[in-house]
Amino acid sequence: MQSEFEGRTEQEAIDKAIRELGLDRDAFDVEVIEREKKSLFRKGSVKIRVYYGDDSAPEEEDDDHISASDASTAEDFNPEPQNENERKILEFIDTLVMKMGYSSKSSISFRRDSKIGISIDSDDSSIIIGRKGKNLDAIQLITNVYAGNLDPDIKVVIDSENYRMRHEEQIIRNAYRTAEQVRRTGRSRLLDPMNPFERRLVHTALNDFEGVETKSEGEGLYKQVRILPSNK
């Protein structure tokens, strides 16, 4: 569940949420959604959105990424295409990579409901992945447009050299390291801008980390997570 509150300062808005929801501060997450600066004719205000209950992590759903739980571990799992749509999608990806100037061999890495994971095997995987996974994301975006024309329900998640899972682990390690610094110094720290999936990883990882709390700041898809000393 989620609710919005407004106050002259962020803390005032949080205090209002605590009173009206009857919850402790550590029972919900906070996302600042609007700041109005103080001026000659305006007092200034902060609007927050709080997430509690089943929505405790303040991030929108993002199904375009892989987590460790997505990969199939079944002994009878078959990485080869099982139907015409899967065959066409694998062929489309390899053709797309070929037009980029590289060779590849794609295979199915997992199947979950209407989502399928595809792994790109290539000698040029570092280029296919790109800086911070940007090329991989672009290939995934284009592939999903193509797959949507085959079947609107299909969702394709593309990985190479287990980049997404390694990246996920790196984000969590960095979140713990930064949280330790915040707890030691008593000063908040901002992480680099992240997409919703990555921010949700940080919020979840630090949910039970004593002495700190997290909140998202900024607008648009790529926001920053601030790790700050807990009020408690």
Report pLDDT digits (tens) over 12-61. 888 888 888 888 776 676 777 777 766 555 567 888 877 765 444 444 44
Give the residue with greater pLDDT, 101 vs 11.
Answer: 101
| Residue in the structure block whose two tokens are 């024309």 | 149
The CATH number for 182's domain is: 3.30.1370.50
> What's the average model confidence in pLDDT over 204-225?
88
211: left (phi over 0), alpha (psi -120 to 50) or beta: left
Distance CA 98, CA 228 (A): 46
Mean pLDDT of the chain: 83
CA angle 96-98-99, nearest 5°?
A: 65
Give, in order, the Cα–Cα distances in Å from 70 to each of 58, 96, 111, 157, 216: 22, 24, 8, 10, 26
Range of the domain at 213: 2-63+166-229
**Among 161, 186, 214, where does a domain finish?**
161
Q: Do 49 and 4 meet the contact criterion of CB atoms below 8 Å apart?
A: yes
Q: What domain count does the chain have?
A: 2
Helix (H, G, I), strand (E, B) or coil at 1: coil
The Cα–Cα gap between 67 and 89 comes to: 21
pLDDT tens-place string over residues 66-96: 454 455 444 567 888 889 999 999 999 999 9
Q: What is the largest CA-CA distance in the chain?
A: 69
Cα–Cα distances (Å) from 210 to 118, 156, 183, in that order, read 38, 37, 8
pLDDT value at position 46?
83
Give residue 144's pLDDT band: very low, low, confident or very high (50, 70, 90): very high
Terminal alpha carbon distance of the chain: 23
Structural domain ending residue among the three candidates 102, 135, 161: 161
Residue 70: the pLDDT is 53
Residues 42 and 76 in one domain: no
